[in-house]
Structure 1
Amino acid sequence: MDLANANTALAENLEMPIYTANAQRFKAEIYSEYQIWDSASVNFNRALKVYQAQANDSLVAICYENMGNMYRQKKEPAEAMRYYRMAYGLFDTLKSDWGKATVIKSEGYLYIVEKLFAKAKEPLYHSLRLFNKIKNRYGQLDALNDIANMYYLTKEYDKAIEVGEQALHLTEFYHSNKHMTWALTTLYRSHKILGNIPEALRYLEQVSFNRMHTQVEDFKRRFLFYQLVYENQRKDATIKQSIIDKQETTQQFLYGFSALGLFLVGILWRNNRVLRQKNADISKALVDGQTLERKRVAAELHDNLGGTLGTIMWYLRGLDKKALSTEEQEIYEDVQSMINGAYEEIRALSHNLLPQELEKEGLVQALERLVHKLNESNNIRFELKVNGLKDRLGRKTEFELYSMTLELTNNIFKHSSASYAVVSLVETESQIMLTITDDGQGIKTNDMKGVGLRNVRNRVESLNGTLSLANESGIGTHVGIQIPKKQKG
């Protein structure tokens, strides 16, 4: 909640209404989780007014769906369904299959909560078809787990096992511990009731392991986050100062010997060529160093911070809540919530630094996951288009392309004020083309010389590629990157 309040205050100070509304909607979801319904309703309605004033139908629809979830938690199914219907209508007008699938799945889950299982089946399968159509694995997992749970509750245990195994298989590609635990739990309970004791015990063991693993990871969060930020900033400042010092030394050397005449001019010209090559080598070394550092930081976040936060939560769970006063119980819940929130932040940061999909499945899977995560923010709708790339690219090429995409989409979030963006990856016989476009306000002149775009240019040069940038205020930005196929392998 402290983070949500800070985001709200920052967005208001910067006069960014959409970001302010997003922060208010985030606060409303937290209040809903703690069943503080009045505060949740107030914040949802504040966000909704801003979205409507900005004529952002996509965010209005998302807010309606969130409000439907709130009324579902309040055990007010009629009101929940009313908001779901309004959300679906807007998503249908926007021709958003993702939005329609999300709302329909929420409706199906509402029917499960109300024990109207016969009504739940059709919307859940409808949402699964839509998620299959747009190849949204996260949505597929959600829908399959809800369907498996529905069959378990209706005592159709064989079907629950069949669908649960589909969900479990999909988690191997998506790497979601939460969804894996849901699937394993359904499989364990179904096999247990059918008397398949060895299978039930096997799945129960995996459930226990997964829950323990999730609890341990839940604590790898805020404790080292600010230390990590500080160390990265300090390293960046050191590198920049080192470059500045070297450039100043070189300039002084050139100024001191410029009077020696034409003979020394030739020597200086030669030295200058060497210096330019060194600067190019430094730029390449910076890119390589950043890549290695990101891998190291991601590993440290995953391995070290998780153990620390896991220990903290383990001690927390050892406390007897019943022995605490009401005020102490509230503090206990706040601390537990903050640690869980810290875990989610570190996990997202660690994943973006070194996504498992990139190492195991390749660039396309990593970009699918990235675009899905970007769309969860609800600020800008991102779309991924891929043509070709049936085979893996070289590890360096994939990592650099992913890093450039991450940098450029981050710039869109920070500076573009766009509502829609496209990430396109195309393979031809001779080259790989990465194109990122948005419909925002364009890049300001100062931003075009910033560290982010300079890093992108350095990465492109390290792959012997070319970069083009078309930028026009009010129309948007087009960034095109071309990498020769000789990088493959």
Structure 2
Amino acid sequence: MNRFKYLILFVFLLNCTISSAQIDSLNVSFRAAQDIQTSNEILKKIIAYCKQDDGCLKLVYEYLASPPATEIKAKAYLTLSVFSYRARELVKAKNQVLHGKEIAVKLKLNGDAIAQFNNQLSNVYRDLNDQDSAIIYADKAEKVWKNDKEKVWSAYYNKYLAYLSLKDYKNADIYLIKSYEDLKNSENRMNKGFVLHSILIAKKDRGTSKEFDKWLNEFLIFKKQGKGPLDPQHMGLVEMFENKEEGLKILEEKIRLLEKSDNPFDPPDLTRNILADKYDSLGRYDDAITQYNKILNSSGARSGGNIESFKAARMGLFQLYKKINEPAKAYENIQKYITLQDSSYAAIEKKNIAEFEVKYNTQEKEKNILIQQAEIKDKTDKLKTSIIIITALLSLAFLAIIAIRIRNKFTRNMHLKEKELQLQKIKELEQNNKLLSLNSMLEGQEVERLRIAQDLHDGLGGLLTTVKAHFNTIEKEIDNIKNINLYEKTNKLIDEACIEVRRIAHDMVPHSIKISGLRGALEDLKNSISTRGLECEIDIHGQKLDHLSAEKASMIYRIIQETTNNAVKHAKANKLFIQLLEHENNLHITVEDDGQGFDINNILSKKGMGLKNIDSRINYLSGKINYDSSPNHGTTVNIEIPIN
């Protein structure tokens, strides 16, 4: 018996010696490698042996940190980062790729080499939930690889994953399709199948049935074109869409192949989680529980492997037990999930091993521990009950406080809104009163103008006509008056008085508006301006002008009349241009002269009655006015009035 024990010990020590000799030999070969490919192949063997153990990789790290910096060392850091990333040691992966990129930049390696580091940084930052950095580094890689379809697809795919994490599905799907377009004619079935897999999932989740059928057909064609079976990553995909039972069989086969490959960086745990979820959805709860437990009891779980898979398994068990109404087991699994979330799984496992050794040292200790556990469980159950009750009461109190605060806030908001509405109504009433006052004032002005015009025409005009008639009679009877020039002067003054009376009466109430509308009145205004020594041009476009109300037409006429009067009296202009242009439901008026211009700020700050009358009428018509002028450069007045 003792001999057998010694034999086992000898074999164990021999294996350790052989393994130690193998790793030493690999380290020597790694240091001696003269090209990147050989160096990477040896490094992969070292990583596979050490399984991310930094102590085991110590010699590798020492060599990479030693001078001189070389391209081989830069690429070795990139390889280390890729394997750390696969093992979900993301911070380590980030530091390794940054070390490698630093060397590559220092050595001024070509753009393709730098792009590989940037693409890996995009991978790492994406899984560290820094999506902005992930997109930035993917952009950098894309710019270098834009003409290399076998590489640029990877940068596009990284952008897809980053935008997917940001829930920006529009951009995510754009880059996913771009990724496939670059791989469509590729000979690399692994990459092509990988992206097609993602497109199918995307279209199933958020695409139309037509889109999904299109891509499913694409995948079926791709599958038939292959000479062998798909890689394990894509097995069961089509069958899950077409035939659930067949899909389950292929997922089980995929797990078998992954277990057989024994690749520490591609464990079957993720696939087991998918399979368990499918069992759950089909009501095969026992099979689902079996798969979850295999994940939790795997060698990876005992050695601190992919913690995300274990967390997913715990959450899956929690939801499953809750569904089948086993609250105790559901509670146990959610507690363990929280523990995994808050602390290192490896540390917890070490603690469990220590507790196991203490428990089973002696039978007496075992009994004491069991008793203590029973007591603790009883106390824990009571404490949990108390905590649940207290939590429920606190939750109710908290909800009550929140409800009261929401109600008070709602009440305050309602009061504020009512106050705002009242203020708005007051402002509207004040505005309406102003408009009514302005309307009354303008109507009064128009009535007064009409009265004065009629008085001038009927009174003074008639009187002057009578004087003219009498004067003509005197002309026939007194020939001597002609000899002293007084007759001609008096006759001329009477003619001028008649013309001035007609002009004032016309300015007061342009009868042409009533006869031929705004268009005719403006033609008369043009003729009147021309007689005063200015070259005047008027340009009118639009049909609605002929259908304006008399009130609005009169208002528009007054605005143009006052504007042209300013030009005639003050501008010292030679030419005057008036344009009326209809556009949609607005009338655009332009009055332009070539006069001496003015300082806008100075004139507008000292508005006279003329400008105030213009502003009042434009405000009444809900219009806008703009002055464009400067000394010695003429003046342009732009007016916009709604005519709907």
Q: Which structure exhibits the higher relative contact order, with contacts defined as CA atoms closer than 8 Å and separated by 6 or more residues? A: 1
Asked if Structure 1 and Structure 2 have the same fold, meaning a TM-score greater than 0.5 normalized by the shorter chain, the answer is: no
TM-score of the pair, normalised by structure 1? 0.41
TM-score of the pair, normalised by structure 2? 0.31
